[in-house]
Chains A and B, each alone.
Chain A
Amino acid sequence: METQPIVEVRNLRKHFGSVVAVDGISFGVRRGEIFGILGPNGAGKTTTLEMIETIQRPTAGEIYVDGIDALRHPDRVKAVIGIQLQAAGFYPDLTLTQLIKFFAGLYGVPVDPRAVLKRFQLEDKARSTFDKLSGGQKQRFSLATSLLNRPKVIFLDEPTTGLDPQARRNLWDLIREVRAEGTTVVITTHYMEEAEQLCDRVAIMDRGRIIRLGTPRGLIEELLATGFRKPVVRQEASLEDVFIHLTGRSLREE
């Protein structure tokens, strides 16, 4: 049972009219890993996620989540997964406490909103509305709500887009914590540094197809084995290292 992948996708396709968004992809996500889906905009990452999340119906193919056929039993799949959409997804007029109670009620799980907010460093925002939060706070809150139903796997769609380096690192730490508690994480990103730091394995998508799948280290070795060499001298540190060194790792908000 444990060797069975938590997510298994076979020959998945999605056509929008004559446009092929996802062109027959197959892959598996192992239990307990952080799995990255990388690719330029329009590669089909979000469509792939939304088909696994049962929000969109595939044109063809099979999807299994935790052994459940997602096309036949979307409701059972929804109960074992957590979701963070690319943008917002929350009532603008409700407070964070109300939103947590709202989602907990929809999932039918008991929840202590204060404990949830405290874990994600949002306890002083309990009475604010979602649209009053900073970018990093929004993504933390979104991650918090994706975990309310104690899912086996969560799907995060570009969670760090638009965040400053401190907020991005803070979110990486939280994602690693979530994984350490046994939840599998599937994440899309177009930051390669993020994928290298965070992901156990990555699938690289382009034009609706998966063109490579492996560990970040393995893919780099593969490229080097072809004789590829960077034409520049290897840097001991990056500008981002300088930025973090100078401004610190602690979160800046408001």
Chain B
Amino acid sequence: MYLRAYLVASWYPFLALLRNRSVILFGLAFPLTFVAIFGFVGGGVLGGVLGGVRVGVIGPAEHPLVRALAASPGVTLVYESPAELEARLRLGRVDGLVRVDGSRVTLELNPTNPQSRLATLAVEKAVAEANLQLAGVSNPPLSVETVQVIGRYERYIDFALPGQISWALLSTGVFSPVWGLIGLKRTLVLKRLLATPVPGPVILLGQATARLLMGVLQTVVILLVGTLVFGFYLAEGWKTFLLMLLLSAFGLVAFLGVGFLIGGYWNSQEGAIPAANLFVLPQFILGGTFYPSDVFPGWLKVVADLMPSTYLNTAMRLVAGEGAGLVEVAPYLLALGLWGAAAYIVAARTFHWY
């Protein structure tokens, strides 16, 4: 009966959201910036690992061991004066230092450098090869054949991107209706809308739908940028993409309950903004946005694990990273749904139209 009015009451507030600077800033620009930072930083660290092991060499370049080392993939040889190389070893700028003097080979390591193990492996392998070569063995009795499995290495972007999505959704689900509803009350827009024959609940449903459209749009943009630019891992491709959209719509609806509770109860920003921050900021820090709750001491981990954004983040990470389906993440969605239901029940009892 009110379908047309509902569509109108959703579409124009959505257009207003698209023109709203703070929605675009907190809901899109900030999360995308973090995605980019984590994307580039992750790439940089990985690049350092792929750049290989740096081994300092003191001795002749034509020595069989040095030639074998130089031919090893992933090993970079560094020639400098002995004093310089020793200094670099202590600073971790070379991962190992090889002294070659005839048949005597010394490997010096700095055990605080995690790369030193790789340097040991590289040198031992080169020694074995050089020994075989010196012994004239071209067909050794034992050899290793390496087989590669299809797998993945979880990079930080794979952990961080779902956190950025849920942060964007928290911003659009909580701050946007809090600012929005109070703004609409103060500028009498809500009163003017109530003076039309469209019932109040339809007007509010339109406000909620506008935020839902906005939230799904944000998730689409963050996922597309994360996947296409920074190689964010989606376990089952477009199916995972759609499932992520579904999860974010569900999360947004739950967060909106809190937004409507706060924006409906207060008529001015003075009370509402601290209340919204009290709900959002702890989740920003503890709710699995940047790091898993495992890093917290016991009691704090219990608190962190009960937060709605933790449930959403866990569900999204399972879906994106491990290809989990709706059934596997149902417990998290249920917990998130309980948060949302509680918020809507309180909101319905405490809502002020003006």
Contacts and interface: CB of A to CB of B under 8 A. Distances in A.
Contact of A101 (B7, B12, B187, B192): B12
Interface size of A as a range: 20 to 34
B199 interface: yes
Contact of B8 (A75, A85, A86, A102): A102
Interface of B: 4-5, 7-9, 12-13, 15-16, 19-20, 183, 187-189, 191-199
Contact of B197 (A78, A89, A92): A78
Contacts of A89: 187-189, 191-192
Contacts of A75: 197, 199
Contacts of B13: 91
Given A53-B195, A55-B194, A75-B199, A94 B5 contact: no
Contact of A94 (B7, B12, B195): B12
A18 B195 CA distance: 27
Given A83-B192, A83-B195, A88-B189, A94 B15 contact: yes
Given A75-B199, A83-B195, 17 more contacts: A55-B195, A76-B197, A83-B192, A89-B191, A90-B192, A91-B16, A92-B183, A92-B187, A93-B19, A94-B15, A105-B4, A105-B5, A106-B5, A106-B193, A106-B196, A107-B197, A108-B5
Interface string A100-117: 011101111000000000
Contacts of A108: 4-5, 197
Contacts of A99: 12
9 contacts: A75-B197, A78-B195, A79-B197, A88-B189, A89-B189, A106-B5, A106-B9, A106-B198, A108-B197
Nearest to A85: B188
Nearest to A76: B197
A90 B187 CA distance: 7
Contact of B189 (A54, A55, A91): A91
Contacts of A98: 12, 15
Nearest to B193: A106
Contacts of B195: 53-55, 78, 83, 85
A87 interface: yes
Interface in A42-66: 53-55
A85 B191 CA distance: 9
A89 B185 CA distance: 9
A75 B199 CA distance: 8
Contacts of A86: 188
Nearest to A102: B12
B66 to A, nearest CB: 69
Contacts of B188: 85-89
Nearest to B196: A106
Given A89-B191, A105-B4, A106-B9, A78 B19 contact: no
Nearest to A105: B8
Interface in A151-203: none
Contacts of B19: 93-94
Nearest to A77: B197
A171 B286 CA distance: 57
Contacts of A88: 187-189
Contacts of B4: 105, 108
A93 B20 contact: yes
A103 B16 contact: no
With a 10 A CB-CB cut-off, give which of A99, A101, A106, A107 has the most chain B CB atoms. Answer: A106
A94 B192 CA distance: 15
A203 to B, nearest CB: 22
A107 B197 CA distance: 7
Contacts of B183: 92
B20 to A, nearest CB: 6
Interface in A93-148: 93-94, 98-99, 101-103, 105-108
A101 B13 CA distance: 12
Contacts of B189: 88-91
Contacts of B15: 93-94, 98
Contacts of A105: 4-5, 7-9, 12
Q: Which 6 A-B pairs have the closest CB atoms?
A: A105-B8, A89-B192, A102-B12, A93-B16, A93-B19, A78-B197
**Residue among B13, B187, B194 with the highest chain A CB neighbour number at 10 A:** B187
A78 B2 CA distance: 15
A246 to B, nearest CB: 36
B188 to A, nearest CB: 4
Contacts of B196: 78, 103, 106-107
A88 B13 CA distance: 16
A78 B200 CA distance: 13
A38 to B, nearest CB: 22
Contacts of B187: 87-90, 92
A85 B195 CA distance: 10
A76 B187 CA distance: 25
Contacts of A78: 195-197
Nearest to A84: B192
